[in-house]
């Protein structure tokens, strides 16, 4: 469980996050949705400590993460897996080396044991016969899956995904979404996903938080999202012609 309490953050005096309060539950896929520039990525990076917050607390299962010293924060981060927007795989390393990296760095396992774990993780994300390929030699969807495999290599308690399906075709995007949801349930992790894709909301959104101009504007479940009377949220979810038609059809019935 991750609790965000009264978090504010600004860049050069310009507020980007304003008094955010939210609870992300364990074993569930928690979604942060909002327009581009609304502060989603800043919030996610603030939670994992890549940005320092000015006010508030980030609490990981009772531990105030943002108040830990550098050494303790480093220790805590071993329990965190993150999937970045572009995958962030190491260019100069093969698929196998990428997934093996956290194992190399933080475990004393033998090479064979590490290899076994790598193959286990790669199989889990449906990557086969790609161990020796470099990130540049595989597709965007495969890169995201390898990044997920790397993120889960150390059995993390927390998984963060920053726009996991950006730049992917709708079918691959759904595959990635479902993979994140399955892994969350399998490993009983606290997962937070940043997205502006409404398909993701409908596929995996156990809990949804809508952020607007740096403020929490709405919070609820994917079922409740369409019944909301929040103007900004409605403008966001019914932005496309397709979703507007679906809404009109729903209203007709």
Partner 1 sequence: MGLFYHIGKYFVLLSRVFSKPEKLKIYYRETIKEIDKLGLNSIGIVAIISVFMGAVITIQTAYNTENPIYPKYLIGLTARDTLLLEFSSTIVALILAGKIGSNIASEIGTMRVTEQIDALEIMGVNSASYLILPKIIGSVIFAPFLTLMSMIIGIFGGWLAGISTGVMTTQDYIYGIQYAFIPYYIVYAVIKIAIFAFLITTISAYHGYYSYGGSLEVGKSSTKAVVNSSIFILLFNVILTQLLLS
Q: Is 86 in the site for partner 1 (CB under 8 A)?
A: yes
The neighbour count for residue 13, using CB atoms within 10 Å, is 5
Residue among 5, 26, 84, 182 that touches partner 1 (CB under 8 A): 84
Helix (H, G, I), strand (E, B) or coil at 3: strand
What are the Cα distances from residue 60, in Å, to 31, 149, 229, 246? 17, 23, 32, 39
Cβ(3)–Cβ(59) below 8 Å: yes
Q: How far is the CB of 92 from partner 1 (least distance, A)?
A: 9
Q: Which is nearer to partner 1, 115 or 213 (CB)?
A: 115
Asked if residue 136 binds partner 1 (CB under 8 A), the reply is no
Q: Which of 166, 105, 110, 107 is nearest to 141 (CA)?
A: 166
**158-162 β-sheet, strand order:** 80-83, 158-162, 190-195, 29-33, 207-212, 215-220
Q: Applying CB under 8 A, which part among 22-30, 76-84, 117-125, 207-215 lies near partner 1?
A: 76-84
Site string for partner 1, 156-175 (x = CB under 8 A): ----x---------------
Does 18 participate in binding partner 1 (rule CB under 8 A)?
no
Counting residues that bind partner 1 (by CB under 8 A) gives 24
User: Which residue, 68 or 202, is less far from partner 1 as judged by CB?
Assistant: 68
- CA dist., res. 59 & res. 3, Å (int): 5
Q: Work out whether 80 is an interface residue with partner 1 (CB under 8 A).
A: yes
Instruction: Specify the stretch interacting with partner 1 by CB under 8 A; choose among 4-12, 43-51, 120-128, 211-219.
Output: 43-51
1 binds partner 1 (CB under 8 A): no
138 contacts: CB under 8 Å, gap ≥ 6: 95, 130, 146
Burial of 4 (0-12, 13-18, 19+ CB in 10 A): buried
Query: Judged by CB under 8 A, which of 39, 56, 102, 214 binds partner 1?
Result: 102
Contacting residues toward partner 1, per CB under 8 A: 45, 48, 50, 74-78, 80-82, 84-86, 88-91, 101-102, 104-106, 160
């Amino acid at each position: 469980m991750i609790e965000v309490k009264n978090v504010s953050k600004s860049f050069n005096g310009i507020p980007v996050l304003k008094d955010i309060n939210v609870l992300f539950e364990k074993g569930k896929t928690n979604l942060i949705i909002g327009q581009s520039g609304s502060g989603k990525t800043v919030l996610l990076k603030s939670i994992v400590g890549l940005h320092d917050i000015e006010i508030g607390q980030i609490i990981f299962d009772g531990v105030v993460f943002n108040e830990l010293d550098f050494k303790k924060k480093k220790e805590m981060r071993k329990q965190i897996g993150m999937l970045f927007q572009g995958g962030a795989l190491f260019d100069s390393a093969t698929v196998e080396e990428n997934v093996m990296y956290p194992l190399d760095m933080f475990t004393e396992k033998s090479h064979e044991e590490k290899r076994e774990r790598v193959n286990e993780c790669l199989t889990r994300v449906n990557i086969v016969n790609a161990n020796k390929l470099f990130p540049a030699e595989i597709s965007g969807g495969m890169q995201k899956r390898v990044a997920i495999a790397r993120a889960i290599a150390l059995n993390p308690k927390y998984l963060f995904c920053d726009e996991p399906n950006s730049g992917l075709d709708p079918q691959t995007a759904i595959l990635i979404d479902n993979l994140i949801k399955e892994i969350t349930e399998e490993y009983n992790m606290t997962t937070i996903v940043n997205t502006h894709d409404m398909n993701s909301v409908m596929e995996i959104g156990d809990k949804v938080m809508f952020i607007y101009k740096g403020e929490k504007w709405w919070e609820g479940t994917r079922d409740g999202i369409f019944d909301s009377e929040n103007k900004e949220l409605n403008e966001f979810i019914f932005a496309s012609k397709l979703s507007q038609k679906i809404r009109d059809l729903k209203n007709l019935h």
